[in-house]
Homo-oligomer: A and B are copies of this chain.
Amino acid sequence: MESGDKVLFSYAGTELKGTYITERNKKAVIKLENGYNIGVDISAVKKTESPKAKRAVPKKIEQDKNLPALSIISTGGTIASKIDYRTGAVTSQFEAEDILRAIPGLKDIACFSAHVPATILSENMTPEIWKTLARTIYDEIKNNTNGIIVTHGTDTLAYSAAAISFMVKTPVPIIFVGSQRSADRPSSDNVMNGMCSAKAALSDLGEVAVVMHGSTNDDFCAIHRGTRVRKMHTSRRDAFKSLNIKPLGRVDYPSLDVSLEEHAIRRNQNKSELFDKLEENVGLLYFYPGMKPDIIDAFSGYKGLVIAGTGLGHTSSLCIDSIKALSETGTNVVMTSQCLNGRVCDRVYDTGRDLLTSGIIEGEDILPEVAFVKLMWVLGQENNPSTVKELMRTNLRGETERCLHNEL
């Protein structure tokens, strides 16, 4: 069989049609008619048709240099994926003009310059790539761009938005955008998300944000603060949600009107600044009942560990000695809550007070994943434990609101 062959096969007792893409690990990778890829035994696949290849030479896209300048920075992922329409395979190759070809409406909004610091599936994102990304973004700000769009796979998009929030202080919008469904699927969200992100990047916003579908209707994109957002669904287009604060605003569709809430930081409110150091030796651990202390011991030698405890920020009493040992040997341990919403407070119950005595830093109302990224960043700037503690509990990029504990 060759890439692009139409095939018929049986899966879970059902006859299915698709397009053969490639062989991988002795399975045939087949693109189903609904756009998803599936791996099935090669022996179960029958070829039904070999369409002639029709490969158009892509036309050069003309941009209007009188429009405001925007930067588009790609790291890979579904929204940046180039579809080979013959085979249906989704790859993450990206050239300057690919996104304009995929979303033609963009060239009526702005004049884009494109940069590709990485081409990865976002589950392979690393702190090292965050550093490259931060520097690329900072250079574009220095080049007087009006705003930046970062296209990113949705798996770790929220982690990266948080990382860049800490690493780049910005006077212009830095908009992370992705797509939950690839461009060749009828339900793809790439055009609407792309158009809305461009408008957000030209708006009066002055911070790092995520722009994605706000509902499952194609009626608006929500603008989420980069340090307050989490992917909360595996496949829905409105998977991204603001937690613990309201979204910063919205971009209506198809009108593309942008509205910003009062708490959104405005354009030029901050000056540009780059902090591109990260301590990579940091971990994140969700506590579970019956956890054996050896799992906490496994983080021995780490510079930092964020625990997502239960409730107000607890682990079992059994784990506290190991946490204390970590803390005493130089690991900065931050407590957050696996509830995701709400604030930790370890002054209420006995276990919490024991944890405080063992040296943990309370992570306030910071999301576990954001605390993890923030701790990498703080330890990249500071070594002194009391400064680290103070910075972790201070609102640096809108990631937390401090409150007096008696106001709980």
Q: Max chain B CB contacts within 10 Å: which of A337, A350, A351?
A: A350
Query: Which residues does chain B contribute within 8 Å of A85, judged by CB atoms?
Result: none
**Given contacts A123-B317, A125-B290, could you give 19 more A-B pairs where the C-beta distance is less than 8 Å?**
A34-B408, A36-B405, A37-B347, A121-B350, A121-B351, A122-B311, A124-B318, A127-B289, A153-B311, A155-B311, A232-B340, A234-B337, A234-B341, A235-B342, A236-B341, A236-B342, A239-B339, A239-B342, A283-B291
Chain copies in the assembly? 2
14 examples of A-B residue contacts, CB within 8 angstroms: A24-B350, A36-B347, A36-B406, A38-B347, A126-B290, A127-B289, A232-B340, A233-B341, A233-B342, A234-B311, A234-B342, A234-B345, A235-B408, A283-B288
Q: Which of A25-33, A109-117, A245-253, A265-273 contacts B (4 or more CB under 8 A)?
A: A25-33
Query: Which residues does chain B contribute within 8 Å of A290, judged by CB atoms?
Result: 125-127, 280
The total of chain A residues at the interface (CB under 8 A) is 84
Check if A154 sits within 8 Å of B311, measured CB to CB: yes
Given A123-B315, A290-B126, the answer on whether A310 and B406 have CB atoms closer than 8 Å is: no
Q: Max chain B CB contacts within 10 Å: which of A286, A308, A310, A351?
A: A310
Quote the shortest CB–CB distance from A156 to chain B (angstroms).
5
Per-residue 0/1 for A135-173: is the Cβ within 8 Å of any B Cβ (1 yes, 0 no)? 000000000000000000111100110000000000000
CB neighbors of B among A2-38 (8 A)? 11-12, 14, 16, 24-25, 27, 29, 32, 34, 36-38
Per-residue 0/1 for A330-344: is the Cβ within 8 Å of any B Cβ (1 yes, 0 no)? 000000011111111
* Distance between Cα atoms of A34 and B405 in the complex (Å): 11
